Structure 1
Amino acid sequence: MAEAELPTLQQRLTAMLADVRPERLLLVSDDDALAQVLGDHAPQRLAGAEAWPRLGDCPAASLAIVDGEAAVPPADVTPLLGRLRDVYAGQVLVIGPASPREAWSRHTLIGLGFRGFGATLDGNHRRPWYQFDIVDYKVTPDWLSPRHWAHPELWDKFRW
């Protein structure tokens, strides 16, 4: 998709929220404009620097949105995203930073189970999006179905 065809961050967020309709939203961001876009969804908001230390005080959310431009210390990025993914949210959306940073690299996010989720324009900067959704994170393999497990018809025929 050409840069001119990319939606703005606000347009994409508004469309996504209309589609997802989260019951409870958690926002990790220092950007007041981003919080205003999410305003009618009444998110719980954590500033970047306090996100990891204060995460334990937050209730679970159906959707967590993490702004890669927030002032999250680099050492806290991986534990924060892992904890959001594992405990605090069924779906986590990361809006990557406009300029590359090691803590927010594509490799780090893919390693945590996130998938590329498109990109948006924020001013003149392209910002990649990544998503983790527990619902479609892993497709159940065929061998893990009940028809491959207990075979009562074979119990007396073979020695296991």
Structure 2
Amino acid sequence: MQISRPDRRWRGQLQTRLLAIRPDSVCALDAAAHQVVRDVLPDIPVYASDSPHDQPCALALGIDVLNGLDAQQAQHLISRVRLYVAPRLLIATQSDCALDDATFRALGFSLEMAEPAEGKRLYYYDLDTYKIVPDWLNARFWAHPERWEP
């Protein structure tokens, strides 16, 4: 089966992103994600989302995982994966996904790639970088008891 040119671009971007992240372990949220990880990172341990493992994986990858879910189910799945499976998520969506760009941004995701011809979007979430630490949240603005006057 020949892959169309836009699909090659989309899959190529996904492969490039996986190689850039270079996780220690991956939780494949669906069969397509499992196959992509096996092809791109053959030496990395890959776990299925329903298989028990001792500790969270470094990355959770989903390609078809949100297909057919409504908005509430999709948000619940994403929340569960972020809490219990992996601190970083890479999720591919179709154009008919129940969650739109604004919802993904509200959930802390950034849009990595959009392929309008294929109707594909690639979103990434990283617990360590999803929110910029505000300037006021540092020791310089903490309470100073020596400055307090009764």
Aligned to 1:20: 21
Q: 1:100 to 1:147 in 2, by over 3 A?
A: same
Pairwise CA distance, 1:127: 0.9
Pairwise CA distance, 1:82: 0.8
Unaligned segments of structure 1, at least 5 residues = 47-53
Pairwise CA distance, 1:92: 0.6
Pairwise CA distance, 1:119: 2.5
Residue 125 of structure 1 pairs with residue 90 of structure 2: no
Over the residues paired in the alignment, what is the CA RMSD in angstroms? 2.9
Q: What secondary structure is seen at the aligned counterpart in 2 of 1:8?
A: helix
TM-score by length of 2: 0.75
Residue 29 of structure 1 pairs with residue 22 of structure 2: no
Whichever structure has more strand as a proportion of its residues is 1
Amino acid at match of 1:111: A
Amino acid at match of 1:78: Q
* Shift >6 Å, 4+ stretches: 4-7
Q: How does 1:3-152 map to 2 (within 5 A)?
A: 8-31=9-32, 33-34=35-36, 36-38=38-40, 40=42, 41-46=44-49, 54=50, 57-58=52-53, 59-68=55-64, 71=67, 73-74=69-70, 75-97=72-94, 99-102=95-98, 104-120=99-115, 125-152=118-145
TM-score by length of 1: 0.71
Q: 1:71 to 1:100 in 2, by over 3 A?
A: closer
Aligned length: 142
Whichever structure has more helix as a proportion of its residues is 1
